[in-house]
Amino acid sequence: MSNAPTLSDFRRIVVKVGSSLLVDAGAGRLKEAWLTSLAADIASLHKDKRDVIVVSSGSIALGRSVLKLPKGPLKLEDSQAAAAVGQIALARTWAEALGHHSITASQILVTLDDTEERRRYLNARSTIAKLLEWRSVPVINENDTVATTEIRYGDNDRLAARVATMASADLLVLLSDIDGLYDSPPHLNTNARHIALVPRITAEIEAMAGDAASDHSRGGMRTKIEAGKIATTAGTHMVIASGHVENPLAAIEAGARATWFLTPANPVTSRKKWIAGSLEPKGTLTIDAGAAAALRRGKSLLPAGVIRVDGSFGRGDAVLIRGPDGAEIGRGLVAYDAEDAGKIVRKSSSDIALILGIEGRAEMVHRDDMVVGGA
Ligand code: GLU
């Protein structure tokens, strides 16, 4: 893609909404009309068979207005407690706005740990997949109430990028108070030039976002570029567009000024690179010749094709997959821990519930969670 794409090019879209767009801090209330217009945009994408996920900020801002807290910075525990109050209002708001279009909203609250730790990552990922299959629109925020300083995202731009890569979204939309990236800060330089298309995030692009040391604001351009790096290296395109218009997604579709960050990779390839390259296998599944041939044709690994389980691993850990002759066929993230995997070796998927007493996944390693070597 050398020209700027449009929304209809994408199948799964994460829309990130910042607090200042949703909450009128001065008046201490929600910007209802704007939210209604955004919900209409989301509904039209949804109707068009697109999967939509919302990453919504606003819990702290809403909480502080409900609690009538004084203006100015809040201490960590104060903002966490405010988030506990505001998140209820935020969830209700989204449920109503989407419900108006007969869309079922769902809420997911995550911390940094939930997306960095593989097992939790996989769990959150399959929950999102299930919700999308049910045509729900998940509304996601950081679990501000429990996130301690060390496990906080702190800003929803990076959280949205992680969510987008976790959900294998092909587009991340950052609705912002600015219509994209400029080659210098537009509020300081009237000659600042708007950048419409970023084919790749280079050092020069990073420099345009400003110096990390001088940018203390959460959600500034710096964190947006960080989000862009996360998204584009994992195969997700990103667009920064202004949220200061009604129907902001329709505006993007109509060609409103925005900055598009393109990804050179496609989602599956990147995800598989991540599986292939960045994880330490914790065990080995040895499979029969039939299963080996099926894997090479792009199929998932079913318990019936597994003849041996070695190692000590948990659900979601990376494992090596070897053929009957011991040659490595690939690696993947296993859906069962070593003990359960051992019990269902050679068994038909329909017997899993009977053997383990739980309704597990039909696949030992799903093809989306697996990379098969060149052989
Ligand atoms: N999670 C925070 C909230 O909902 C906002 C963080 C951000 O906007 O970057 O209030």
User: DSSP readout, 118-164?
Assistant: HHHHHHHHHHHHHHHHTT-EEEEEE-TTT--GGG---SHHHHHHHHH
Domains and CATH numbers, the chain: 7-269 (3.40.1160.10), 279-372 (2.30.130.10)
Residue nearest to atom 2 of ligand 1 (CA): 57
Report pTM. Answer: 0.74
Protein residues whose CB sits closer than 6 Å to any atom of ligand 1 = 18-19, 57-61, 83, 141-142, 144, 155-156, 218-219
Q: Distance from the CA of 159 to the center of ligand 1, in angstroms?
A: 10
Beta strands in the chain (DSSP E): 12-17, 23-24, 29-30, 51-56, 105-110, 137-142, 171-176, 181-182, 194-195, 197-198, 237-242, 258-261, 283-287, 306-311, 318-322, 328-333, 370-372
Q: How long a stretch of residues is the chain?
A: 375
pLDDT for residue 270 = 59
Residue bearing tokens 């960590």 = 76
Q: Which atom of ligand 1 lies nearest, measured to the CA of 61? A: 10
**Ligand 1 centre distance from Cα of residue 60 (Å):** 7
Q: What is the model's pLDDT at position 267?
A: 57
Asked if residue 267 lies in contact with residue 238, where contact means CB atoms within 8 angstroms, the answer is no
Euclidean distance between CA atoms 177 and 219, whole angstroms: 10
**DSSP bridge partners of 222:** none
Burial class of residue 221 (count of CB atoms within 10 Å of its CB; 0-12, 13-18, 19+): buried
Look at strands 237-242 and 258-261 and give their pairing: antiparallel
Q: What is the pLDDT of residue 1?
A: 45
Calculate the average pLDDT of the chain: 88
Determine the pLDDT at residue 278. 46
- Are the C-beta atoms of 171 and 138 separated by less than 8 Å? no
Q: Over the chain (375 residues), what is each successive 10-residue block's mean pLDDT?
A: 76 95 87 96 96 96 92 89 95 97 97 78 90 97 82 85 90 95 87 93 84 50 88 88 96 95 71 62 94 94 97 91 88 93 94 89 92 62
Burial label, 195 (beta-carbon count in 10 A; 0-12, 13-18, 19+):
middle
- Nearest atom, ligand 1, residue 156 CA: 9
For atom 4 of ligand 1, the residue with the nearest CA is 57
For residue 176, the SS3 value is strand
- Distance, in Å, from the CA atom of 146 to the CA atom of 79, rounded to the nearest integer, reads 11
Please state the φ and ψ torsions of residue 23, each to the nearest 5 degrees: -120, 130
Pocket test for ligand 1, best of 17, 21, 60 (most atoms within 8 A of CB): 60
Taking the CB of residue 298, how many other CB atoms lie within 10 A of it?
9
- What does the alpha-carbon distance between residue 110 and residue 144 come to, in Å, rounded to a whole number? 8
Residue 66 CA: distances (Å) to CA of 60, 97, 297:
10, 19, 56
> Which of 19, 65, 224 to mutate for ligand 1's pocket (most ligand atoms within 8 Å of CB)?
19
> Can you give the pLDDT at residue 160?
94
Question: How far is C-alpha 110 from the geometric centre of its chain's CA atoms?
Answer: 11
Give the per-residue pLDDT at 23. Answer: 92
Q: Give 17 Cα–ligand 1 centroid separation in angstroms.
A: 9
